[in-house]
């Protein structure tokens, strides 16, 4: 059935949490109420990426892009746009000019979507829509037109590297597993996304689950495996629901299960839910969890590609890696090689968050600079503040400072400045962020998430956190800086897995680029950013206070006293350093020191 219009409504987790479901239901209701349900098809899609402006509605064929749409706007959209063909200007993205389509919005200008190609385009709950976008064509090509070695050669030539953080060549990993003689092999998708601020894999599974299933089936045919597992954290209920739905549909269509496409090739996929342990992002801990054991890493070699799940050869890749594979095999390695840099091919998905105007999910060619990401795509620093640093790689990564804004974002360049690609979290910080406070946050996270198996991680991480805590309270010494470095190097060398080995990265990175902040906390007992509560105080400047009582009215502990039109006082013993009085005062009568 042909429709005059198609109304695409974001149904990802972020938009659903902002009344996206209610918006969809209200649009459905209005289409019926205004008698045009036969003229416009309402479609749930995955994440459009521009999360800062969600919920998002896109109307085809004219590509109108509506932002911050609520259920209350449904009636007007149907009455004006669907019936009268007139755009609702108040809902268009506005940034100096009216942007009526995604092509006219700065956020999308420097992006190139390969992994996210179907997110915001198709209904992720419909296998037919995936097939209409060349879905499962790569699997058909691999089954009927390519040998195992040809598939591996194509991936090697393409230069696809694992997007989970380490950047190991994907084709080489598959080759190892393919060459091992074994009656049983396994394919595993790592969807255990645990970095703070990261949601790349979740959005891909929610918006395009079949791309992951197709790629895993391709891997099964290539290496000789008949069973796959998707390991995903239980905190992703929508992604789990859509993956399970996609698995059922693929089985019904003969694309999973026995004798796929009428051949002798059989391959099936099951989900395994994790309890949110960050350490289970490490592949041997992940495999232990699938086996029903406690998620703890084991020494390597042997690597899982040779001896993995239940002791059998196992290919493990993360969601983003899998989602690249169908497109590479359909369009060819030469096409993929044209994107990115000499050593880092293709694109990278980032969850852009923090002190940024346009937070969201982005996909850019490898080699795009941090300046382009923050200022051209991200719209600059929120509130007109000064950029201070960006953290990539989450708790395993390091900071990128202003002097490196123009380096290309690729594996080698980031490693060269003490950071790392990681799985794709990118948190932007401004002048108001304290680097000791930020480092403490990441150390607190890794200490809490450590499995405790090895002493360097278990003891070293806790000791480093305690040192940072003392420094943040003005109790640190210069000797503490030496101790931080010694412990960090020991953890890097002696920890059993990547969690402990990379946990010191935020320390080493911030000490290298923000040594002055460490010294200010130690020598001057001051926090330059005004974040560390033990080192700041709020006092009233008597000759500026007019007694408006605004500060007293917002104080949560009622520690500010004074008469109307009289000078106020702050009880330092009761003050919790929340800063609300400082933010509320219009006369600069509160001194922060």
Write phi, then psi, for 426 (nearest 5 degrees): -135, 110
Whether the per-residue pLDDT at 363 is higher than 50: the answer is yes
3-state helix, strand, coil in the chain (%, to 5): 45, 15, 40
Q: Report how far Cα 454 is from the mean position of its chain's Cα atoms.
A: 28
**To which residue do tokens 């470095």 refer?**
485
Q: How many whole angstroms separate alpha carbon 24 and alpha carbon 440?
A: 42
The CATH label, of 3.40.630.30, 3.40.50.11540, 2.60.120.590, 3.40.50.150, for the domain at 127-335 is 3.40.50.11540
Whether the per-residue pLDDT at 94 is higher than 80: the answer is no
Class of residue 406 by CB neighbours under 10 A (exposed 0-12, middle 13-18, buried 19+): exposed
Q: How many whole angstroms separate alpha carbon 447 and alpha carbon 439?
A: 12
- pLDDT value of position 98: 53
Write down the domain spans for the chain. Answer: 5-106, 127-335, 347-430, 435-523, 537-592
Q: What is the DSSP letter of 303?
A: P
Closest CA to 323 of 350, 299, 349: 349
Q: What percent of the chain has pLDDT over 90?
A: 84
Whether the per-residue pLDDT at 349 is higher than 80: the answer is yes
Give 592's pLDDT tier (boundaries 50, 70, 90).
Answer: confident
**To which residue do tokens 């890696």 refer?**
321
| Overall average pLDDT of the 401-428 stretch | 89
C-alpha distances in Å from residue 412, one per residue of 171, 360, 396, 401, 418: 19, 25, 16, 17, 10
Check if the beta carbon of residue 523 is closer than 8 Å to that of residue 480. no
Helix axes 478-494, 505-513, angle to 10 degrees: 140
Q: What is the pLDDT of residues 221-273, one digit of tens each?
A: 999 999 999 999 999 999 999 999 999 999 999 999 999 999 999 999 999 99
- The per-residue b/e assignment along 266-287, b for 16 or more CB within 10 angstroms, e otherwise, is ebbbeebbbeebbbbbbbbbbb
* Mean pLDDT value across the chain: 93
Q: Which two tokens stand for residue 573?
A: 């013993």
Q: What is the pLDDT of residues 184-225, one digit of tens each?
A: 999 999 999 888 888 999 999 999 999 999 999 999 999 999
Residues in the chain: 593
Q: How many whole angstroms separate alpha carbon 291 and alpha carbon 154?
A: 32
Q: Which helix (H) or strand (E) holds 190?
A: strand 186-191
Q: Which residues pair with 349 in a beta bridge?
A: 363
Q: How many whole angstroms separate alpha carbon 418 and alpha carbon 411?
A: 11
Whether the per-residue pLDDT at 96 is higher than 50: the answer is no
Closest CA to 16 of 242, 238, 236: 238
Write phi, then psi, for 156 (nearest 5 degrees): -65, -45
64-70 LR contacts (CB < 8 Å, sep 24+)? 64/92, 64/100, 64/101, 65/92, 65/93, 65/99, 65/100, 65/101, 65/102, 65/105, 66/91, 66/92, 67/91, 67/92, 67/93, 69/23, 70/19, 70/23
Closest CA to 143 of 47, 254, 8, 273: 254
Whether the per-residue pLDDT at 95 is higher than 70: the answer is no
Fold of 5-106: Glutaredoxin (3.40.30)
Q: What is the pLDDT of residues 83-92, one digit of tens each?
A: 999 999 999 9
Give 422's pLDDT tier (boundaries 50, 70, 90).
Answer: confident
Q: What is the pLDDT of residues 510-542, one digit of tens each?
A: 999 999 999 999 999 999 998 998 998 899 999
Q: Which residues pair with 561 in a beta bridge?
A: 569
Q: Please enumerate in sequence order all residues whose Cβ is within 8 A of that of 1, keeping only pairs 6 or more positions apart, or say none.
A: none
- pLDDT value of position 101: 76
Check if the beta carbon of residue 61 is closer than 8 Å to that of residue 5. yes
| Overall average pLDDT of the 148-171 stretch | 93
SS3 60: strand
DSSP string of 501-521, one letter each residue: HHTTHHHHHHHHH-HHHHHHH
Whether the per-residue pLDDT at 102 is higher than 90: the answer is no
Fold of 537-592: Alpha-Beta Plaits (3.30.70)
Q: Which residues pair with 35 in a beta bridge?
A: none
Q: How many whole angstroms separate alpha carbon 21 and alpha carbon 523?
A: 54
In which order are the strands placed within the sheet that holds 347-354?
A: 360-365, 347-354, 425-430, 387-392, 398-401
**To which residue do tokens 């949601």 refer?**
199
C-alpha distances in Å from residue 311, one per residue of 184, 186, 188, 346: 10, 10, 14, 33
Q: Which CATH class is domain 435-523?
A: mainly alpha
Q: Does domain 347-430 have CATH number 3.40.50.2000?
A: no
Closest CA to 558 of 573, 543, 548: 573
| Overall average pLDDT of the 367-382 stretch | 95
Q: Which two tokens stand for residue 406?
A: 């123009």
| Overall average pLDDT of the 36-47 stretch | 94
Question: Is the fold of 5-106 the same as that of 537-592?
Answer: no
């Amino acid at each position: 059935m042909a429709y005059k219009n198609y109304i695409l409504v974001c149904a990802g987790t972020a938009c659903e949490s902002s009344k996206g479901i209610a918006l969809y239901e209200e649009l459905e209701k209005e289409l019926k109420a205004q008698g045009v349900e036969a003229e416009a098809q309402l479609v749930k899609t995955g994440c459009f990426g521009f999360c800062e402006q969600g919920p998002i509605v896109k109307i085809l064929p004219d590509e109108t892009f509506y932002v911050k749409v609520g259920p209350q706007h449904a009636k007007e959209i149907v009455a004006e746009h669907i019936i009268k063909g007139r755009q609702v200007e108040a809902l268009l993205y506005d940034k100096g000019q009216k942007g009526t389509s995604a092509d006219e919005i700065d956020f999308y200008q420097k992006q190139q979507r390969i992994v996210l190609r179907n997110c915001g385009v198709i209904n992720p709950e419909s296998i037919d829509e995936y097939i209409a976008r060349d879905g499962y064509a790569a699997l058909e090509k691999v089954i009927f037109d390519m040998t195992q070695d040809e598939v591996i050669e194509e991936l090697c030539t393409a230069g696809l590297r694992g997007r989970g953080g380490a950047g190991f060549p994907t084709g080489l990993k598959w080759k190892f597993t393919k060459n091992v003689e074994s009656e049983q092999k396994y394919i595993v998708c790592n969807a255990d996304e645990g970095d703070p601020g990261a949601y790349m894999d979740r959005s891909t599974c929610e918006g395009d689950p079949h791309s992951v299933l197709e790629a895993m089936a391709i891997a099964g045919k290539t290496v000789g495996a008949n069973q796959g597992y998707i390991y995903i954290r239980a905190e992703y209920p929508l992604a789990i629901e859509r993956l399970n739905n996609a698995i059922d549909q693929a089985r019904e269509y003969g694309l999973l299960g026995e004798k796929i496409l009428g051949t002798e090739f059989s391959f099936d996929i099951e989900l395994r839910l994790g309890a949110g342990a960050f350490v289970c992002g490490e592949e041997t801990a992940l495999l232990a969890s699938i086996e029903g054991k406690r998620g703890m890493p084991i020494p390597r070699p042997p690597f899982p590609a040779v001896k993995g799940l239940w002791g059998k050869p196992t290919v493990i890749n993360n969601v983003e890696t899998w989602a690249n594979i169908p497109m590479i095999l359909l369009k060819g390695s030469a096409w993929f090689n044209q994107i990115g840099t000499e050593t880092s091919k293709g694109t990278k998905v980032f969850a852009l968050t923090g002190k940024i105007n346009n937070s969201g999910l982005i996909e850019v060619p490898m080699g795009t600079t941090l300046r382009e990401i923050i200022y051209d795509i991200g719209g600059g620093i929120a509130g007109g503040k000064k950029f201070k640093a960006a953290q990539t790689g989450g708790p395993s990564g390091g900071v990128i400072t202003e002097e490196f804004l123009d380096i290309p974002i690729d594996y080698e360049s980031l490693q060269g400045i003490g950071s790392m690609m990681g799985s794709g979290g990118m948190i932007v910080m401004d002048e108001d962020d304290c680097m000791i406070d930020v480092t403490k946050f990441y150390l607190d996270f890794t200490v809490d998430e450590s499995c405790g198996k090895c002493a360097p991680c278990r003891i070293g991480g806790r000791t480093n956190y305690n040192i940072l805590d003392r420094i943040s309270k003005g109790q640190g010494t210069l000797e503490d800086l030496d101790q931080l470095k010694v412990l960090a190097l020991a953890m890097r060398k002696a920890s059993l897995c990547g969690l402990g080995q990379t946990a010191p990265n935020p320390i080493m990175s911030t000490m290298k680029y923000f040594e002055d902040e460490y010294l200010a906390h130690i020598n001057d007992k001051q926090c330059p950013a005004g974040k560390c509560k033990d080192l700041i105080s709020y006092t009233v400047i008597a000759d500026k206070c007019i007694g408006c009582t605004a500060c007293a009215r917002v104080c949560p502990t009622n520690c500010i006293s004074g008469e109307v039109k009289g000078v106020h006082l702050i009880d330092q013993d009761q003050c919790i350093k929340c800063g609300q009085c400082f933010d509320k005062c219009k006369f600069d009568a509160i001194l922060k020191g």
